[in-house]
Amino acid sequence: MTQQPQVKYRKDYTAPEFTITDIDLTFHLDEKATKVLAISQVKRCEASAKDLLLQGEDLTLISVKINGSVWQDYSIEEGNLLLRGVPDLFELEIENTIHPDQNTALEGLYKSGEALCTQCEAEGFHHITWYLDRPDVLARFTTTIYADKHQYPYLLSNGNRIDGGDLDNGQHWIKWQDPFPKPCYLFALVAGEFDVLRDVFTTKSGRQVALEIFVDQGNLDRAEWAMTSLKQSMKWDEQRFNLEYDLDIFMIVAVDFFNMGAMENKGLNIFNSKYVLAKPETATDKDYLNIEAVIGHEYFHNWSGNRVTCRDWFQLSLKEGLTVFRDQEFSSDLGSRAVNRIDNVRVMRGAQFAEDASPMAHPIRPEQVMEMNNFYTLTVYEKGSEVIRMMHTLLGEEKFQAGIALYFQRHDGSASTCEDFVKAMEDASGIDLTQFRQWYRQSGTPILTVEDDYDPNTETYTLTVTQETPATADQAEKKPLHIPLSIELYDNEGQVIPLQYKGEAIDPVLNVTESTQIFVFDKVWFQPTPALLCEFSAPVKLHYQWSDSQLTFLMQHARNAFSRWDAAQSLLAIYLKLNISRFAQQQALSVPRHVVDAFSAVLTDEMIDPALKAQIFTLPSENEIAEWFEVINPTAIAAVRASLQQLLATALADELKAAYQQNQCEHYQVTEEDIGKRALKNVALSYLVFSDPQLGEQLTVTQYHNANNMTDALAAISSAVAAQLPAAEQLLTEWDERWHQDGLVMDKWFILQATRPDPQVLDLVRQLLNHRSFTMKNPNRVRSLIGAFCSANPAAFHAEDGSGYQFLVEMLTDLNHRNPQIAARMIEPLIRLKRYDEHRQKLMRNALEQLLKLEHLSRDLYEKITKALAA
């Protein structure tokens, strides 16, 4: 690191002194040395500005011209190009070379397998040429690509194809033109040899749009689901949001080497192949649903991100929070709304809450940034989506849609801010969102404490609600938020009690706006059972003294599937917490019979959907449980969670066997009904291997060998590994022999290996670094082996001897130079040292100090390490 990275502040934003209205790019592609010619139309915006500073990194300059003449008055400082004394309006011509084969950071133009592709968000375009690499500079792009036709038969870029042809020397060329002004982070280029799946979509106005999905040769049979998902996305966006696609063609390219999930480049979406490729033999139900969601997410960005983009990167949640909300609604409208909501809440409670409590805590609109790549976070995306969802709750669908329409009408073709979005919602609905804006400014997870009182004499029921947001690493002082608290009250027969007071109906969504508030309801004939925070109406932690009888009542009677699941989670939480406390005193696990009976009733209730049963029987993850404690004991959490699974498995063995047998599917179909049945069957199997290991051995081996789909095969081997059955090693070997050449399938195998409940798991992970299917060059492999061990096997990673920490130091030392973005994501479990006991804190601090001493430490890692040590 040549100098200490500088912090940028949102408050210091200034409009660009110059802008670029049009850019004509020409690429002469070569994996070792690509020549780039950029001809830009530049316009001065600020009269006092005399010099033009363009960002650049890892570029070799050939020439600079202004209005056709060589320009000599320039200098290159720390990679950036400073042009002195430029005119008010001029044509700027820059020619340079770049080296895709050396670009292991996967930013800018790089090599993915035998193809070339780009990734420019957030600030990757200046790895291609010198430019005003900021999102509020919008230009019309024309891109001409020259390349060897045999090596790169497909040459793709943004917009519509307008020209092209063959050349005498085995080369060919194609010209693309995007009529919509866009920031350079949305630029894309792909060159390579692919198989192509083609289709068409007719928009609601009757326009024909060509659809093309490009995959590596031999993978065409794994692209059909992605195409189906794309067409569903286009149709849904027209029906639900009245938004129509605007180009003549929409393309998706699946690449193996990609730091993120996918990228919404205008008209040319580049995807991590894991979110495109699927067939029953290689992809699970979860993979299919993830592909559907991510395809939808990137397509929906065409409006919420591309047509209206961010003014600056502090506004990232403007496009990402809104688009995550849209993709969640898409998945919920197409599939099980209850299961989708539960999955989203698990992410919030298990991962986003942990981020809020970490040294990297930040609001959904950060106030300061050192390395922008570090703010592609669950807070910006998932919590940002929850903030949009709260607005939807407060406004209702009709007014929310009016706000969306007004937002796009006002800001189409421009770079806008989070405030612009909230203002449009406010103006369209007439609802005052002044206090609600605090969600954009304040970090941390609010805690809602609810106390209740019932007076049988007056037949009134009172809720006292207190809100508090604990101090975070970035903010000591917190203000009250506007929190929509959705509730239902149930009488003793399971009927919902209408909410009213003094003859006036009360909306079931209570507006909590003060530090302490009292809500009174009358004509409540019986002591009610409350369902609180229904549908997780706000991203908060809820404290309420549930009784076991209240929770078992809600599990049986709540009319909302989410409330039933949440009641089951709360009931489990009571006894998981209790037994984790007992663990330190070496006391045996204890769970009352009525708790077991409540879960038995769920399994045998034919009115409950199999998918919901599966969710109720999926125990909270170790990371979710960790968020219940100020000081985390990963050893106790893992041991108690495993003991609880063993106890339920033994007590409910007969019911679990019945559920396993009753939910078999003869043929594989990606339907909501069949996905639910497979989920319940495989959750039942995950318990049966503990209740009866001999039966478990028989079931897992039979299911693995007879499976006609990856969902059942993976469930079988996962259960065998979790229970450490004798058959596990043989099944793992068979998997390796069959699939070792398929990276995406082997990712599942690496995750299984890295998360084994085995005291020697770290030794195994080290061995697998040399496995024939593993490479440190591929982010998917790195996440599946190293990332899974560090993030999804907390008991092993946080081993008391510090071996997990030292392993991560070794891996980050390599990744710091190879791929800083991936390194910064991998370090997350290590920077949360304050949540652990003093012994572990000391070991984690030592590991961080080792990393801080690395030569040429990346900005990505530097920011996180220094914040963790400062905290």
CATH for 547-691 (3.30.70.20, 1.10.287.3510, 1.25.50.10, 3.40.50.620): 1.25.50.10
Tokens read off for 775: 């490479």
Question: Which candidate in 123, 298, 320, 329 is catalytic?
Answer: 298
Distance CA 789, CA 407 (A): 43
Segments of the chain assigned to CATH 2.60.40.1730? 1-190
Q: Note if the pTM is more than 0.85.
A: yes
Cβ atoms of 346 and 621 closer than 8 Å: yes
First to last CA, the chain: 22
Residue with tokens 């600056």: 312
pLDDT at 3: 59
Distance CA 420, CA 318 (A): 9
pLDDT at 588: 87
Segment (H or E) for 387: helix 384-395
Distance CA 663, CA 680 (A): 7
Distance CA 484, CA 471 (A): 22
Scored b (16 or more CB within 10 A) or e, 413-440 reads eebbbbebbbbbbbebbeeebeebbbbb
737 included as an active-site residue: no
Scored b (16 or more CB within 10 A) or e, 786-806 reads bbbbbbbbbbbbbbeebebbe
Task: List the one residue out of 223, 358, 375, 383 whose CA is nearest residue 314.
Answer: 375
Topology adopted by domain 1-190: Immunoglobulin-like (2.60.40)
Low-confidence ranges of the chain (pLDDT < 70): 1-3
Tokens read off for 756: 């084994």
Cβ atoms of 208 and 190 closer than 8 Å: no
Tokens read off for 424: 């449009």
Strand partners, 467: 448
pLDDT at 871: 87
Segments of the chain assigned to CATH 1.25.50.10? 547-691
**H, E, C per residue of 747-796:** HHHHHHHHCCCCCCHHHHHHHHCCCCCCCCCCHHHHHHHHHHHHHHCHHH
Tokens read off for 535: 């549908």
Segment (H or E) for 563: helix 561-584
pLDDT at 654: 98
Cβ atoms of 810 and 790 closer than 8 Å: no
Q: What count of Cα atoms within 13 Å lies in the side-chain half-sphere of residue 86? A: 32
Distance CA 663, CA 88 (A): 71
pLDDT at 589: 87
Tokens read off for 789: 């061990």
Distance CA 45, CA 47 (A): 6
